[in-house]
Amino acid sequence: MTHKKEKKLSGAFNRAIGKHGEFTIGISPRKLNDIITNQTREIDFSVPDAAYGQLSDANKRALAHLVKAAEYLDQAFLKQDHPDNIRARRKLEKAAGKGNKLAEQALKLFTMQNGVEGKDMYAKKSRPLRIFSDKKLQPGKGFYPQDLTKKELADYIVAHPEQASALLGNNTIVVREGKKLSAIPYSIAFETEMQGAAKELLAAARETDHPAFAEYLRAQAQQLVNDSDPVNGFTADKLWISNLEDSPLEFTIGRENYEDRMSSDVAAEPRVKKVLDENGIKARAKDSLSVRVGIVNKDSYAEIADYRKHLDDFGKEMPLYDQYPSKGSAGKGDKMTFADVDLVAFTGDYAAVRGGITIAQNLPNDDKLAVQLKEGSRLVFHRQVRQSVDAAAQKKFLDALVDPSQHNMFVPNSDFLFTIGHELVHSLGPRTTADGRDKNGSLGKYGSMLEENKADVGSVALTDYFVKIGKFTQEQANQIYLTWAANELPSKQPSEDEAHRYRSVMQVNYFIDKGAIKFEKGGKLSIVPEKMGQAGRDMLKEVIQIQLDGDPAKAEAFVKKWGAWNETLQYASDEKMKLKPKLYRLIRQPMREKILKQGSN
């Protein structure tokens, strides 16, 4: 495409969306077309007829209301993510509706990112991918005023310690009121969305024939409209964890805080940390709202449950177990329920696929009251995600980067088994620092990264433990080790803001250093099976010690040491990119779209 033609397309695009000093296209037509045409792989959330057919008529009606509730909360997320997300989408939809091809492609990219900004998956170093050059995401995203700097927020908290708890609360939006900063609860800041979602949840509760699920939905509705009382959130989480083992439907409101760097960095600033410690305040990053709606598959339950029955015994073998401040508690508590679901809808932060899409989740997170009061957690697996394997691309990858003698160890289902372990290990380890502080918050921006690191290497150690007790054969363990190690190889150099990808670099370097993984520039990756379990335990011990210490300087030193980019990693990245992988993901949600279309008629 010539520069002249690109300029013409960009001009037509800007005219089509009604550009008036803003919404300036920030990505070239050539690159946008390449992303959509050549670099995107679709993940289809089509639900098997048998899965939907086994639902009672009452639960089918309830499902429709749940999808509509998810849609309301998607609007709230878009506002949290960027103040102009909703206007931008409307502009793109209008222009695409008039046949503007560039707008159609930009709208598809917006859908993939669920927002105006994502990650450039093909850049050698991490950088943003912006649809519009004038719509940059700030560190505080939509949670804070766009012009608020970290220094200004830190200065304000030091000067107004009485506001620190609210400003650094997990469910408040911060706004300017003259020279003052005010914290507005989500229930008020997103009143229309919260009220609408609550109404749909109450309607679903009236329809479902599962009493415990109905009770849970009513509690979630109450939490949406009255989030100032932590008891409401605790009640909803407790019911979700403990009462839904046999529920035919899954409905999750994810309240996770991986994206808000402003709160974490400011809370770790020494002057602010002093204020928080002196006043007994626990700072929390802002929760990004997400929703998962699914139909529970009972057939795969047994495999997941078999993992869980061994967890208590393994928990007692966790490194530094006797030093946990909760008197040796294994972690989130003994309770854990499971669900393997055919996904119907992903909205909010779950739909913002800006670097990857998760196979499973273990929630609530450690900052939630239900976890702190030892109510346990719920582990939910995503069937369509783990089943979306590109066999041809997989073979090319193995030929390029994995020792031929170990190709037979690469088994996709092993990734599922590893993920079960990863999510379960989130429930192990210390809940807090040794002196009782929030273990993730105390480590600033490294808290989430090291928690994910702990879960990964914990799963490696758990796999080795399963060999010792006879649950796994050595061959099964080797398949899990090799599949995990191969999938750790990076496609680009990540930034420290990319917790999941950065921890993979740390793990590759650590396991190579321990002799458990063999890989160097110009070569092929292989594992040394007899060293994998010990390497996992060694790294797990170091990470848990950092979590117990709660020292951000120690966390930074550990992360920088093992996250250092080198020629071996660059070689892996270059070789992966030569294969022209499709790194972007577009989720197709046909049942969600059908339900919403029927509801609008």
Same domain, 230 and 358: yes
With respect to residue 77, please indicate whether it lies within any of the assigned structural domains. Answer: no
Same domain, 371 and 246: yes
Cα-based angle 43, 47, 53 (whole degrees, multiple of 5): 175
Which one, of 191, 185, 190, 251, lies nearest residue 215 by Cα? 251
Same domain, 17 and 126: yes
pLDDT bucket at 21, cuts 50 / 70 / 90:
low
Same domain, 350 and 433: no
Q: Is 166 exposed, middle or buried (0-12, 13-18, 19+ CB in 10 A)?
A: middle
Same domain, 206 and 254: yes
Same domain, 183 and 108: no
d(CA 277, CA 452): 26
Same domain, 242 and 296: yes
Q: What is the mean pLDDT of residues 81-88?
A: 95
d(CA 388, CA 150): 41
How far are the Cα atoms of 213, 217, 502 from residue 209, in angstroms, in the given order?
A: 8, 12, 45
> Per mean pLDDT, which of 351-365, 406-420, 433-447 is the most reliable?
406-420
Task: Give residue 181's identity as a one-letter amino acid code.
Answer: L
Same domain, 104 and 233: no
Q: pLDDT digits over 429-476, tens only?
A: 998 899 988 888 789 889 989 999 999 999 999 999 999 999 999 999
Same domain, 114 and 152: no
**Tell me, what's the pLDDT at 333?**
45
Q: Whole-prediction pTM value?
A: 0.84
Q: Provide the β-strand partners of residue 43.
A: 587
Q: pLDDT digits over 371-407, tens only?
A: 778 888 888 999 999 888 888 899 999 999 999 999 9
* CA atoms in the 13 A half-sphere facing the CB of 269: 19
With respect to residue 329, please indicate whether it lies within any of the assigned structural domains. Answer: no
**Tell me, what's the pLDDT at 20?**
55
Q: pLDDT digits over 489-515, tens only?
A: 998 898 887 778 899 999 999 999 999
Is omega for the bond preceding 364 within 30 degrees of 0, making it cis?
Answer: yes
Q: What is the mean pLDDT of residues 75-86?
A: 96
How many structural domains is the chain composed of?
3
Task: Give residue 459's identity as a one-letter amino acid code.
Answer: S
With respect to residue 207, please indicate whether it lies within any of the assigned structural domains. Answer: yes
Task: Pick 60 or 501 by higher pLDDT.
Answer: 60
State the residue for tokens 């007790």: 469
- What is the SS3 assignment for 365? coil
Give yes or no for a contact between 539 and 510, defined as CB atoms under 8 angstroms apart.
Answer: yes
With respect to residue 412, please indicate whether it lies within any of the assigned structural domains. Answer: yes
Share of the chain above pLDDT 90, in %: 70
How far are the Cα atoms of 185, 213, 295, 340 from residue 210, in angstroms, in the given order?
A: 32, 5, 13, 18
With respect to residue 445, please indicate whether it lies within any of the assigned structural domains. Answer: yes
For 5, the domain range is 1-38+83-136
Task: Pick 306 or 270 by higher pLDDT.
Answer: 270
pLDDT bucket at 329, cuts 50 / 70 / 90:
very low
With respect to residue 308, please indicate whether it lies within any of the assigned structural domains. Answer: no
Same domain, 216 and 365: yes
**Tell me, what's the pLDDT at 98?**
92
Same domain, 145 and 234: yes
Q: pLDDT digits over 416-425, tens only?
A: 899 889 988 9
Same domain, 46 and 193: yes
With respect to residue 499, please indicate whether it lies within any of the assigned structural domains. Answer: yes
**Tell me, what's the pLDDT at 284?**
86
**Token digits of residue 595:** 């339900």
* CATH at 282: 3.30.540.30
With respect to residue 376, please indicate whether it lies within any of the assigned structural domains. Answer: yes
